[in-house]
Amino acid sequence: MSVNTSNAYGKITISDAAIARVASQAAMECYGIVEMVSRRFTDSVAELFHRQPQGRGVKVTTSGDRIYIDVYAIIKFGVSINAVAESLKEGVKYKVEKFTGMIVDTVNVNIIGVKL
């Protein structure tokens, strides 16, 4: 799927993969995030055959002009999970909204593990 919008100059289409890539990059910039992880084993196997994973650890769903994002991450040991999750939500939401010009409805954070 993709997000579509129109303005006076024409139509703009942004793919879910592009949104996922931006969200993944924004997530990695947040303090306390060690790495993004695949949601399922089949995703890990699929990444072996691609040179650059597109939006690793991020699932994007679009409906109309709304964007729903699920983030799967490993955090650093010793940091507040709640603080990191809130920072991650705000950072991803801000950067994706700035990138797309669309509304990010929800950002769900899934902490998969902790690294020392």
CATH 3.40.50.620 for domain 2-115, yes or no, is no
Please give the Cα distance from 43 to 36 (Å, whole number): 12
Give the global pTM. 0.83
Instruction: Tell me which H or E stretch contains 113.
Output: strand 103-115
**Residue-by-residue pLDDT tens, the chain, 116 positions:** 788 877 788 888 888 899 999 999 999 999 999 999 976 555 555 555 665 556 789 999 988 778 999 999 999 999 999 999 999 999 999 999 999 888 899 999 999 999 98
HSE-CB at 18 with a 13 A cutoff on CA atoms is 11
